Amino acid sequence: MVASVLRRLLTLHPLVGPAVAAVFLLAFTALGWVYYLNQPTGQSAIAVTVEPGLNARTIGQRLDELALVRSGHVFAVLARLKGLEGRLQAGTYRLDGRRSTAQLVEDLLQSPPAPVRVTVPEGVTRTDIAGLLARAGVVDSGRFAAVTGDSSLARRLGLAAPSLEGYLFPETYFLAAPSPAEEVARTMVAQFRAVMSPHLEARLAVLGLNLHQAVTLASIVEREARVQEERALIAGVFRRRLQLGMRLESCATVEYAMGVHKEHLSNSDIEFASPYNTYLVAGLPPGPIGNPGLASLTATLFAADTDFLYFVARGDGTHVFSRDLRAHERAKHRLRQPPAKPAPRPHIRRRRR
C-alpha cells in the first residue's frame, strides 16, 4: 500500500512529487518507529514506587531502566498527552512490561493499591527477608525462599550467581499485599542494579574482581563491621589477606554456614565443615552470606590500603586492629580479661561529738 502511494506521488510535478513523497516517507517512518517503541518489552511485572512530585520524564527514565518500556521519551510524550502529571497519585504500582507503553500510562492513571511498608535491614539473609515479608502479609515465606534460591531466576536476571543472596538490596519498600514472590524478588534486584552505579561498576576491573566476588566480600564486611568508620578498614584487611593467600577467618561466615548467630564461636564451631567456613577454606566463600547495603559495597570497592591483618571486637562495636598474630593474640587476651574491680573504700569511723 505504501509503495503504491509513493509511486502515485512521484507522478506529480517533477519537483513537488519527490518532495511530497519524501515527506510522506519520513512521516511514515517516524510513525512506524513510534509504533515500535510503544510495543511491550516482555518484562515480567514488577512493583514500581512513584514518589510525590515525579514528572513524566523522570518516570519514563525509571521505567526504561527497569526494561518496562522501550523508550522513556515516548512514555513521557504519551503521559503528557494523557495529562498524567496532573492526575498521578504517589504510591506503588504493579507494572507489566507485557503491556504497551500506552497501556502502562493508563495503568498509572488508576489509583494504586494501599502499599505495605517493609524495611529490609542491611546484612540480613534471603531467608530472613522471607520472614519479614511474610509477617507483613506480602508473600509466602516458603515461596520467596524457593524463588530467591533458584539459580535459573538469577541467570534470567543477568546474575552469574547460584541464588539471589546478596542481590536483594536492603531498602524500605512499599509493596502490594499480597504480591507474587518472584515479582518482589525482581523489584529488589532492580533496586540493587539501580544502586550499583557505573562509578561503582568501573571499580571491579580496577580491583580485578567480578560482580559476584565483590558482593560476596561486601556481605562479609557488612556482617563484621559495626561502625561506619571501620568499614573500609575491615574491607582492606580482608583484601590484604586475600592477596597474601591467607584464609579470611571470618566468624560471620561460620555463623552463616551453621545457620545460627552466636556471640562467641567455640573451637568445634570453627571446625564446622562447609565451603562457607573461611576458617577452613581459603579465598572467598561460594557466594554472599547476606545482603550488603550501599555503605559496605562502597567500602569494599574502595577499601583502605592497610598493613593490618587481624582485628578483634572490643564489644562496643569497634575493633582493635593488629599487624601480626602475636599482637592480635595479646589484644584478644587483654579484651577477654574481666574488668578490674574497684578497690573497696576504707571504712572511716567518725568520732562522736
For residue 315, the model assigns a pLDDT of: 87
The helix-helix angle for 294-301 and 231-243 (nearest 10°) equals 40
CA distance 318 to 226: 7
Domain 116-195 in this protein, CATH class? alpha beta
Instruction: Locate the domains of the chain by residue range.
Output: 2-30, 46-108, 116-195, 198-336
Can you say how many angstroms the Cα of residue 186 is from the centroid of all Cα atoms in its chain?
A: 10
For residue 274, the model assigns a pLDDT of: 97
Identity (one letter) of the amino acid at 29? T
What is this structure's pTM? Answer: 0.70
In the chain, the N- to C-terminal Cα span, in Å, equals: 124
The helix-helix angle for 294-301 and 198-207 (nearest 10°) equals 40
Q: List the grid coordinates of 146.
A: 524457593
Query: Which residues 6+ apart lie within 8 Å of 132 measured at CB?
Result: 118, 120, 124
For residue 350, the model assigns a pLDDT of: 53
Q: List the grid coordinates of 3.
A: 509503495
For residue 92, the model assigns a pLDDT of: 77
Preceding omega of 178 cis (within 30 degrees of 0): yes
In angstroms, what CA-CA distances link 218 with 120, 144, 342? 17, 23, 42
User: Which residue, among 288, 286, 291, has the nearest Cα to 124 in the 3D structure?
Assistant: 291
Say whether 116-195 and 46-108 share the same fold.
Answer: yes
123-154 burial by CB neighbour count: b if 16+ within 10 A, else e? bbbbbebbebbbebebbebebbbebbbbeebb
CB count within 10 Å of CB 62 equals: 19
For residue 304, the model assigns a pLDDT of: 97
CA distance 249 to 309: 11
Residues of the chain under the 70 pLDDT cut:
1-36, 113, 338-353
Any idea which fold 46-108 has? Dna Ligase; domain 1 (3.30.1490)
> Residue 343, class by beta-carbon neighbours within 10 Å (0-12 exposed, 13-18 middle, 19+ buried)?
exposed
Phi then psi dihedrals of residue 175, to 5 deg: -120, 150
For residue 26, the model assigns a pLDDT of: 56
For residue 214, the model assigns a pLDDT of: 98
Q: 346 - beta bridge partners? A: none
For residue 353, the model assigns a pLDDT of: 45
For residue 88, the model assigns a pLDDT of: 77
For residue 321, the model assigns a pLDDT of: 96
For residue 47, the model assigns a pLDDT of: 76
DSSP class per residue in 264-306:
S--HHHHT---TT-TTTS-S--SS-SS---HHHHHHHHT----
> Residue 114, class by beta-carbon neighbours within 10 Å (0-12 exposed, 13-18 middle, 19+ buried)?
exposed
